């Protein structure tokens, strides 16, 4: 059985679809076998879809930042631009361009613990990041709650906001908000 030669437009479509769809889906669209598509991808040097993008996976970025993958994925809610790509055999990756991450991070500094960042984990760091790393490492980690913050915390809880929403408004960690509110409630119960 003779092999069907690849036409230029098929190769172009293949290059466009790699990372967007699985090999099986691409093969179906091109009217070829998955084996033929896989072989052509290898010959074109398009095997490691994830690595070719030059982006980091959510897991890789999470490891560099000292957070969980779930945390990085949750940042999509706060506007972090991500791209979902498929490997040859259906596994999906959430990918992030470092340029997009640093632009987003500059606007969302309160969501990142700069003490966990290491210059060796990143090939380049924007100037503003280096300053934040130094400041974060020299500053005291705990900030005492002011009376006005405690009042605002109570009002925001009564309005029905979540700890996550409140933490962003008060520039505090979610766990700090939750713990402080719990202590506040215990104090009210004891005095009442």
1 within some domain: no
Domain housing 17: 8-47
3 within some domain: no
Are residues 85 and 130 located together in one domain of the fold?
A: yes
41 within some domain: yes
Whether the model pTM is above 0.75: no
Is residue 13 within 8 Å of residue 29, measured between CB atoms?
yes
Is residue 7 within 8 Å of residue 16, measured between CB atoms?
no
Number of domains in the chain: 3
Are residues 36 and 60 located together in one domain of the fold?
A: no
Residue 86 tokens read as 């498929």
Are residues 114 and 79 located together in one domain of the fold?
A: yes
Are residues 74 and 134 located together in one domain of the fold?
A: yes
pLDDT digits (tens, 9 = 90+) for 103-157: 998 898 888 877 777 777 777 777 777 766 666 555 545 678 888 888 999 899 9
Q: What is the CATH number of the domain that holds 89?
A: 1.10.1660
Give burial (CB, 10 Å; 0-12/13-18/19+) of 93. buried
- With a CB cutoff of 8 Å and minimum separation 6, the contacts of 73 are 58, 82, 94
- Reading the chain (192 residues) residue by residue, the pLDDT tens digits are 457 888 889 888 877 777 667 778 888 888 988 888 878 877 877 655 555 566 788 888 888 888 888 998 899 988 999 887 766 555 677 888 888 888 998 898 888 877 777 777 777 777 777 766 666 555 545 678 888 888 999 899 999 999 999 988 888 888 888 888 888 887 776 666
């Amino acid at each position: 059985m003779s092999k069907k030669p690849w036409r230029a437009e098929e190769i172009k479509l293949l290059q466009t679809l790699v990372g967007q769809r699985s090999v099986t889906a691409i093969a179906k669209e091109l009217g070829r076998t998955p084996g033929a598509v896989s072989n052509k991808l290898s010959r074109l040097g398009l095997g490691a879809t994830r690595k070719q993008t030059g982006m980091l996976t959510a897991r890789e970025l999470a490891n560099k930042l000292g957070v969980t993958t779930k945390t990085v994925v949750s940042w999509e809610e706060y506007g972090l631009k991500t791209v979902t790509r498929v490997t040859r055999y259906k596994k999906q990756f959430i990918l992030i361009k470092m340029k997009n991450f640093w632009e987003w991070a500059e606007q969302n500094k309160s969501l990142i613990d700069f003490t966990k960042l290491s210059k060796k984990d990143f090939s380049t760091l924007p100037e503003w990041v280096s300053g934040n790393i130094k400041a974060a490492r020299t500053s005291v980690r705990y900030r005492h709650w002011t009376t006005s913050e405690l009042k605002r915390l109570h009002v925001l809880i009564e309005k029905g906001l979540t700890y996550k929403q409140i933490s962003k408004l008060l520039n505090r960690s979610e766990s700090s908000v939750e713990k402080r509110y719990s202590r506040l409630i215990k104090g009210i119960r004891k005095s009442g």
